[in-house]
């Protein structure tokens, strides 16, 4: 016979799985991954390094006009934060390139331009609407 703890655990697991499946059915994207696209809009190379709590994506050199794509799976109900350093002409800048509390990406795609004054998130790819941020301190 099952004890109360086992019943509660089984019910919780059933509810969690049902909600996950409902979310996937409604959005049509149960197992999609998030893509953060970063474009160097500067006239000089940028050394980029992004990481979260558990993963370091390593250094990448972006020449002027080049794009880098950071890809990760995002589970519902969790908070995600990817921070990056951008080294430009020996000067290092920091920015949280993906913050699940701040960012609402279109079809799991975020688009960022790295400019002289800081990163700019492209909100609507078709009409180049963007919002620019300052580097983190």
Chunked into runs of 10 residues, the chain (137 residues) has average pLDDT values of 72 69 49 87 97 92 96 78 95 94 82 94 77 88
> Among 130, 36, 40, 18, which Cα is nearest to 83's?
36
Q: Which CATH architecture has domain 32-132?
A: Sandwich (2.60)
For 32, the 3-state DSSP assignment is coil
Tell which residue, 64, 51, 129, has the closest CA to residue 96.
51
pTM above 0.95, yes or no: no
């Amino acid at each position: 016979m099952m004890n109360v703890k086992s019943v509660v655990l089984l019910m919780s697991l059933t509810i969690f799985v049902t909600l996950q499946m409902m979310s996937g059915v409604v959005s049509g994207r149960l197992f999609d991954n998030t893509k953060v696209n970063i474009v160097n809009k500067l006239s000089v190379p940028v050394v980029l390094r992004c990481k979260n709590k558990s993963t370091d994506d390593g250094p990448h050199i972006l020449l002027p006009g080049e794009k880098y794509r950071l890809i990760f799976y995002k589970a519902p109900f969790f908070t995600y934060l990817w921070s990056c350093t951008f080294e430009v002409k020996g000067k290092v800048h920091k920015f949280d390139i993906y913050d699940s509390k701040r960012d609402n990406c279109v079809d799991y795609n975020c688009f960022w331009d790295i400019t002289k004054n800081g990163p700019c998130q492209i909100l609507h790819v078709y009409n180049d609407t963007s919002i620019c941020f300052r580097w983190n301190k």
